[in-house]
Structures are given as structure tokens and as C-alpha cells.
Amino acid sequence: MEQIIIEKPDEKRLNELGVKSWPIWEKEVSEFDWYYDSKEICYLLEGKVTVTPQGGESVQFGIGDLVTFPKGMKCVWSISENVRKHYKFV
């Protein structure tokens, strides 16, 4: 199974990806199941999250992280600090 990839991008990488033009998603502290029917890349502006893939190890990420989720992954999102992120489905 593909893994969640977490990067600490610099401004150059963010500009290359065009992150600032992506839509913004916001969510309060909560926990919910999620399924990725497309690959998603997101960049956290605010918040702290733990994502636990079905049958996999939990990963944590937060402000300044660029996170790639593989298509077809089922997981649980646990938001411990309100999230605000740019996102793009690819």
C-alpha cells in the first residue's frame, strides 16, 4: 500500500506547485473516517492532525507540512487543533 508522504517545503517548492492558488478547506477539532478516491496534496496553514490509515501506522502533521495522500486510502482523521489548509486533487 502507498504511504502518506510528509514534506517541509521551502517557498520555491510551494511556488513551483502553485499552492497559494489552491482552494482552502477548514475544519474544527473533530474525528472522522475518510476515503481518498483521488490522490490529494495539501499544505497546512493552521492546525494539527493525526491520520491513521486502515491497517497502517498513524502519522502526525501540522503547520508548514506538505502532505500527499495516496488514491484509494481509507483512514481516520483526528484533528486536535482547528485545520486550515490548501488542497489539490490530482
Write out pLDDT tens, residues 68-78: 999 999 999 99
Measured between its terminal Cα atoms, the distance across the chain in Å is 18
| Partner residues linked to 88 by β-bridges | 41
Q: What was the pLDDT predicted at 2?
A: 79
Task: Indicate whether 84 pLDDT > 80.
Answer: yes
Residue 86's nearest CA partner among 29, 40, 36 is: 40
In the chain, how many domains are there?
1
Could you tell me the CATH number of the domain that includes residue 25?
2.60.120.10
Q: What was the pLDDT predicted at 57?
A: 94
Write out pLDDT tens, residues 42-65: 999 999 999 999 999 999 999 999
Phi, psi for residue 84 in degrees, rounded to 5: -140, 120
Range of the domain at 16: 5-89
> Residues 61, 6, 8, 83: is their CA dihedral positive or negative?
negative
